[in-house]
Amino acid sequence: MSYDELWRNGHPLSWAWFHLGDEELKEQYRDAGQKPAQTEWLTSMMRNDLQYALQRGEFVAIGVRMPFTIDTRPSLLPFTIFDHFEQIDWEASTVRNHGMEFASVRISALLDLQEDAAPPISSPVKSKSGRPSVQPLLREIVRELASDPHFGSLLAKERIAQVGEKARKQAPNQFRSERQPARQTIIEALRAEGFWASKS
């Protein structure tokens, strides 16, 4: 599939965080209705999840490199452009970072990126395969926390917070931001260890 086709079929960045988000979070978002604080928190969580999924190469971002000229075509954004949350303008679907700016950014599933559309360098597919999984570490942390009999009775967000805090303490060089590890990554570890019967 060409970059033009990927762009046409992709989700605009302004709403991709919802369309590609965790189903449970999406349900909570719908149920939140007219509760601004809750919808803002859920929006932030889903945007964070999408940002880290893009960094890991789980999705691809296609956009128009600025400044625009008559010959400008949609092109693949390097995954490194998503390493600073504040450089993403979610409402405008633009990303600015590392001296580059992309507008009209859309998000597509990685499986839509065929070999004939692969970039010459810094392919998200190659990057993903070269990064070790953090799941073994997170699952071990979940097991350690589960030794406390009260852990299983915590709210979902409290379990996520405890795993994230412990992960940052044990591996500060790997998880350097308060947003790391990504929420969805923690959920995967909790689910694998049987601790994702979440409570609201």
Q: What is the pLDDT of residues 47-103, one digit of tens each?
A: 988 888 888 778 889 999 998 888 888 888 888 888 877 789 999 999 998 888 999
For residue 167, is it within any domain? yes
Domain boundary among 122, 155, 181: 122
Please give the mean pLDDT across all residues of the chain. 79
Does 139 share its domain with 114? no
Domain interval for residue 69? 3-122
Percent of the chain's residues with pLDDT above 90 = 14
Supply the pTM of this predicted model.
Answer: 0.56
- Answer whether residue 200 is part of any domain: no
- Give the Cα separation of 133 and 193 in Å (integer): 16
pLDDT (0 to 100) of residue 128: 42
Closest CA to 196 of 5, 13, 4, 24: 24
pLDDT in tens, 84-95: 777 899 999 999
CA 186 to CA 110: how far, in whole Å?
21
Which region holds residue 194: left if phi is over 0, alpha if psi is between -120 and 50, else beta? left
